[in-house]
Chains A and B, each alone.
Chain A
């Protein structure tokens, strides 16, 4: 069961990085802007998937509410862009306010005029909200299915709240970002989208290294300990509540960054980011990619979403069936996900099944073979 430890050959690692960096640099010239933009969005989704892997794959907390933190990050970015592009509109506030007769900017928009504030708000606000929800839940020792239900219920609370607040954040319509300005350019323009792609790619790699650092060593081992046997961790003198709150908060922060990058590349943030299916999809990406592998979460998020867009273009409306089938396949045949399967004994077993590789001689069979040898 190699759920946690990844061991690659050094040469493979090096060539992997060279190819990866070359691809990231070349992607804007190789891909048309439309595809590049899609890839950028999916890469940003892989950051929220990393968070899901940290809390679910390592710590055993199956959260169905990561959409909350994803949307919060998206709203922070969109509010910054809208408020700083509103000079031509009445009262110098974003255009949508006029629809509802709002003349004065709601107070909580004010700090988002500042780039520095927004830069921190994107990840600190979701992390704080996650930390608060997490602490209250974990302190009361709510776990397993009850934790999942609770996170999903919180998601619905946030969804309904955001949906209803037309006068504050344009309610169900959400906040558009593609026609806003950043550095004197339209956010939706090709040149800025190319830069967003690179920024996203760099942040994904940084987030991956950060997540690897978190799970490396004793802290990560305690997380695995909590997943496998929480009372034992407690009797060894550790307080699981603090560890779970920290990791849930980290996952929330990652979700916020992910949501902000996704928003600027898809051109809008809306309560649709907090629908139930979207948060469940995040879990599916990680399950398919491989729980507790980190890299599997990134690959799962990117490949499943790319497959989704390709399939939806060719056979509209068939994607839900394929995604459902994929999930069932993973749960039944590859419980450790694709990457977990590759790192485990998966490929060797498959080759054996087709007779392409000799079976490993196990102890009882050796004994039997030897006895036959003696008889001859």
Chain B
């Protein structure tokens, strides 16, 4: 185990009534790294996020985050330790306005007493203004989040994720259903976030992954098949076999 590692997954096995969703998965993330995770359907990509965020308890194995074990901790505790997650389909609070959504994400401490008693801090208001500018939602501040377009919802959720100030951002299919232009902007946004933050991006979209220009982990049948740059993994025979398909002769 390396000292500068932010996250270590050690021999994670998740068994759903005999079916191995993850099988002895090992993965290490350095602080500030941007990592893409790809894999065919059913490879265990989402289960992998569920294990880190505490939604699913691994049958075997250890999750070490900032030197502490996350196994058995409840979701909100893990979130407070600094693990943020963006879901596959945008999950925002549709009956609240854009501003209220962001307020929920930036507010600290997250205790009921603080929320009911005190008004939001100035620096958090500034943070909200800042976030809205980054994701181009400044004009939509007081609209119901449910009235946003699909792309705007995706971005609002990314903004909410950033607002949580997590040390580790887990981003599940951020560009599903986005236009090419929006996809490019999202890739740039995620790239700009890494360095200061550690970001894990899960996606199918090869063009998008290539644009991220990061290390890639390929998942297959619940385990890491191969790791490396996009060029390396594209040449890897195992990856070609299971994921990219054999080139037609």
Contact = CB atoms under 8 A, between A and B. Distances in A.
A, B assembled together = yes
Contacts of B164: 236-237
Interface in A227-286: 228-229, 231-240, 242-243, 246
Interface in A1-49: 1, 3-4
B249 interface: no
A224 B112 contact: no
B172 to A, nearest CB: 11
B178 interface: no
B107 interface: yes
B110 to A, nearest CB: 5
Contacts, number: 78
B146 A219 contact: no
B110 A235 contact: no
Interface residues of B, number: 32
Interface in B89-113: 91-96, 100, 103-105, 107, 110-112
A364 interface: no
Contacts of A228: 93-95
Contacts of B79: 234-237
Interface string A216-229: 01110110110011
Interface string A189-225: 0000000000000000000000000100111011011
Q: Which of A233, A236, A243 counts the most B-chain CB atoms under 10 A from its CB?
A: A236
Given A218-B104, A236-B105, A225 B115 contact: no
A228 B95 CA distance: 8
Q: Which of B95, B105, B146 counts the most A-chain CB atoms under 10 A from its CB?
A: B95
A218 B75 contact: no
A218 B93 CA distance: 13
Contact of B80 (A222, A229, A237): A237
A221 B93 contact: yes
Interface of A: 1, 3-4, 214, 217-219, 221-222, 224-225, 228-229, 231-240, 242-243, 246
24 contacts: A217-B116, A218-B100, A218-B103, A218-B115, A221-B93, A221-B100, A221-B103, A222-B115, A224-B95, A224-B96, A228-B93, A231-B55, A232-B91, A234-B76, A235-B75, A235-B76, A236-B79, A236-B104, A236-B160, A236-B164, A238-B76, A239-B76, A240-B76, A242-B112
| 8 nearest CB pairs, A to B | A237-B79, A219-B116, A234-B75, A219-B115, A218-B115, A237-B80, A239-B76, A232-B91
